Amino acid sequence: MSNEQTTFLMIKPDGVERGLADEIIGRFEGIGLRMLAMWVGKPSLERAEAHYAVHKERPFYPDLIEFITSGTVVAMAWRGEDAIEASRRLIGATNWEDAEPGTIRADFARSIDKNIIHGSDGEDTAAFELGLWFPDGLED
């Protein structure tokens, strides 16, 4: 049975700064997902806070907001079979030291906070994040 999903992926400021955007996009294409939309720029404080609202009580939240608003991000909608789980698998664990070899974070991240990329972790968060970053909706 097919399970076509749309997910939200965002290359964080460290990934863009290090020139990894092209390599990362290629990896998602390589697992058969396709890009539907892209927004490139420096996130507003308001959008960053909404995006990470779930973490607002965590000790790292202020640093997380400062980091994500510190530079250019590449925010994207991607579609494909099991897109949410497949992209999380390719991204790897939050902490790069726990990430499987060959995942984006194992290959490129060297700290838990600057970990290159964000990916939605479920259907509800994907719907929320896609609506936040692409309020005009998506064509597919």
Cβ distance to ligand IDP smaller for residue 66 or 81: 66
100 binds, among Mg ion, ligand IDP, none (CB under 5 to 8 A by kind): none
Between helices 83-91 and 21-30, what is the axis angle to 10°?
130
Residue numbers of the site for ligand IDP (CB under 6 A)?
55, 60, 64, 94, 112-113, 115, 118, 121
Tell me the number of residues near Mg ion by CB under 5 A. Answer: 1
Q: Are 14 and 116 in contact (CB under 8 A)?
A: yes
Question: Beta-carbon neighbour count of residue 20 at 10 Å?
Answer: 20
- Concerning whether 55 is annotated as a catalytic residue, the answer is no
Beta carbons within 8 Å of 128's beta carbon, 6+ residues apart: none
127 binds, among Mg ion, ligand IDP, none (CB under 5 to 8 A by kind): none
Interface residues with Mg ion (CB under 5 A) are 121
Catalytic residues: 118
